[in-house]
Amino acid sequence: MNNIKTIFSIGDLEKLSGVKAHTIRIWEKRYGLLSPERGSNNLRWYGLEELRKLLNVVLLTDYGVKISKVAKMGTSEIEMMVGEIRVGRQDVNHAIHLFKLAMMTFDQPLFLDATDHLLAKMPFEKIFLNYYMPFLEEIGIMWQAGTIEPAHEHFISCLIRMVIMQQIALSSKKVRKGIAAKYVLFLPFGEIHELGLIFLQYLITARGEGCVYLGSNIPLDSLSELMRLFRNITFITYMTVIPEEKPLDMYVETLLSMVRGNESELWIVGRRASELLIGEQENLKRFNALHDIVSKLS
């Protein structure tokens, strides 16, 4: 844990909260909202508690509470008001606020509680597409900017994966015994972005359809056994970084030749789908974004 980021610059606070650094400084000077430490270079540094307070303050001001009023409130009073808002609201900004707070403080119960509140009001499909996906996109931006550490990203990704797996376990009860598999889901060898593929497994099982999930790091040779057992099946793979640029078309051509001989289809999802030079083919479908394949499955 010594390598996890626990102190933040005012630039980090700006990226995490969405409030301009200039405004944060005004809140400090006028209302004494935050109490930063100063390093040897006289630059302000903020701890996790300061970050937590700022995120909560921003949430309250977003819902119309004046900053002058919030500044007079104690930390426990601020958190109590945030909790009251959580009970009555379900908008994306509020949910992402809680997810972000849970990520930065490694608070698993907070993340799961926020998810449970959403599950009580809407189906999981909507939560993943409208709440988790925007949050994951924001995480990517924060990671590239150096605002968060890999530990933060891994922590929250594992929690999202756990929630999806729980939903798969529940939805699998809809799949009748003995039903033939219609889909095979797998990631190419070296591809690590698994959350989208796991979500597709959830969608398929939630619709009561048979699905074989192979996971990541699947060599092409290992698909041969499945093609021996199943025909007229749809193979779905997710490509964001793998295969690398040069072998991409060669890899897909090899897959297509296997699929054709099996009277099956190949669906490719992800950023790399748009980079394929292969022309349109009857047994090949490409989906640049997760929302596109969700519409197809629906």
Asked if 226 and 212 touch (Cβ cutoff 8 Å), the reply is yes
Is residue 25 in some structural domain?
no
C-alpha to C-alpha distance for 34 and 25, rounded to whole angstroms: 9
Q: Which of 147, 169, 191 is the last residue of a domain?
A: 169
Mean pLDDT of the chain: 85
* Beta-bridge partner residues of 210: 181
Which residues have a Cβ under 8 Å from the Cβ of 204 and sit 6 or more positions away?
182, 183, 185, 211, 297
Q: Which of 148, 169, 190 is the last residue of a domain?
A: 169
* Both structure tokens of 32: 């004494």
* Over residues 19-29, mean pLDDT: 90
- Single pTM value for the model: 0.80
Domain containing residue 253: CATH number: 3.40.50.280
DSSP 267-287: EEESGGGGG------TTEEEE
Reported as a pLDDT band with limits 50, 70 and 90, residue 138 is confident
Q: Give the domain extent around 215.
A: 176-297
- Same domain, yes or no: 164 and 189: no
Is residue 79 in some structural domain?
yes
| Phi, psi (rounded to 5 degrees) for 45 | -135, 140
- Same domain, yes or no: 181 and 290: yes
- Same domain, yes or no: 53 and 165: yes
- Same domain, yes or no: 101 and 190: no
Query: pLDDT of 173-227, one tens digit each?
Result: 888 887 878 899 998 887 777 899 999 999 999 999 888 999 888 888 888 888 8
Query: Which position has the token pair 């999806």?
Result: 164
Query: pLDDT of 213-251, one tens digit each?
Result: 998 888 888 888 888 888 888 999 988 876 665 578 888
Number of domains observed in the structure of the chain:
2
Is residue 70 in some structural domain?
yes
Reported as a pLDDT band with limits 50, 70 and 90, residue 7 is confident
